[in-house]
Structure 1
Amino acid sequence: MGRVHFRPITPAALSEALADDLAARGPDGYLSVAVDGPPPARPDRLATSLVDPLRARGRAALTVATSGFLRPASIRFERGRTNPDSFYENWFDLPALAREVLGELGTTGRVLPDLWDPATDRATRSPYVDLPPGGVLLLHGPLLLGTGLAVDYTVHLLMTPAALERRTEPADRWTLPAYDRYADEVSPADWADVVVRSDDPDHPAISMIGSMRS
């Protein structure tokens, strides 16, 4: 990662700043956003926190979690239940995300909110949700960048390896080598539109990129 300057910001101010930037983009069309980060960085919380500010700016918003698009257990656990390479390569159904979440967004606004229930290991059979023109899709989860998913705007929640290890639940620490591999192979902080340092998600710092740059 090159030299990036961060400035401290409150979570509420972060949501407002991102909502301002997103609302200014393609006001008459659909906008797809990837909020990328490991669970301890709370990409789910940031994505959810954008919904109301976007609506206040006249942009309907819908959050979709990648955890609703896991592959069946037979594929995820083919190499064992705690294999970091399998987590990195095979856990998330990227073709389904491309087809059911992003594929028709730009033309019809139809989005499938989830596909697979890992608890039952069955399809959820959820109905499609229709976003009105100008709607913003907020796709959140880990390992999203560099996957080929066609999104319009990317936010990467950056954690140092030490902070990630400290904040990851013991039962999930087997995933840590996958995040090391992600940083080495993808370098998401180098090409995301916005990078948010999230060693402590309650005290973030933002690197202003693109139209947010002063």
Structure 2
Amino acid sequence: MPRSTRADTSSGSMPEGGGRELTRQRVVEAAAGLLAREGREAVTTRAVAAAAGVQPPAIYRHFDDMDGLLDAVAEQGYARFVEAKRAIPAPDDPVEDLRAGWDLAVEFGLANPALYAMMYGEPRRGTDSPAHRAGMELLLGRIRRIAAAGRLRVDEPLAAALIHATARGAVLTWLSLPEDRRDPALLTAMRESMVTAVTTEKPAVQDPGPAGAARALRAALPQQTTLSEAELHLLGEWLDRLAAGG
């Protein structure tokens, strides 16, 4: 006689795979809700099981341990953040786009303090998740727009690190302060310090496109000492061809 495949759901009518996924999602949402309402210490096996309407052993059929569950909560948080970032149209000015993205990241942290503290206060929590990688791609896209406009002051990896560090520092510092000492000027000052460190006021290259960039770099070659004479000659030929093509 065929074995029953009744799912671990209230309806009892869904196939086992779908029911398993629904139960997993219910556990993640229960843990996220406890985290938001009561803080990190409230997220225990017993409390999550009660909130999700499952027996405690059921949690470990979906996650190896509580760290695995918290990683899933962080992944859900990253996904929500990425959805919010994608929903907002990008300003035409790439530097204003950077400001808007930074503000959005900080606003997300202030609106979800316990989640944010877990996501960014615990080393590497959820940083290998697809949602986190998608968020990084959005950030790198913003940085590449600034570079293409000739306004990026530092290289792209350093720019990404500075943007992340200032947003994270702004949120965690704000949350650590007593409410009567939380001055919005702190957030504005940190954002503008980041913008100054990462961008230039005017484009380093006045003419848009690769031809303008090639001409600017060609003009600077005589002052550099990093490349050998042969390398300089070859690079000069490449830049001349790019400049002519523009």
Give the TM-score taking structure 1 as reference length: 0.26
Give the TM-score taking structure 2 as reference length: 0.23
- Name whichever structure is richer in helix by fraction: 2
- Name whichever structure is richer in strand by fraction: 1
Name the larger-Rg structure.
Answer: 2
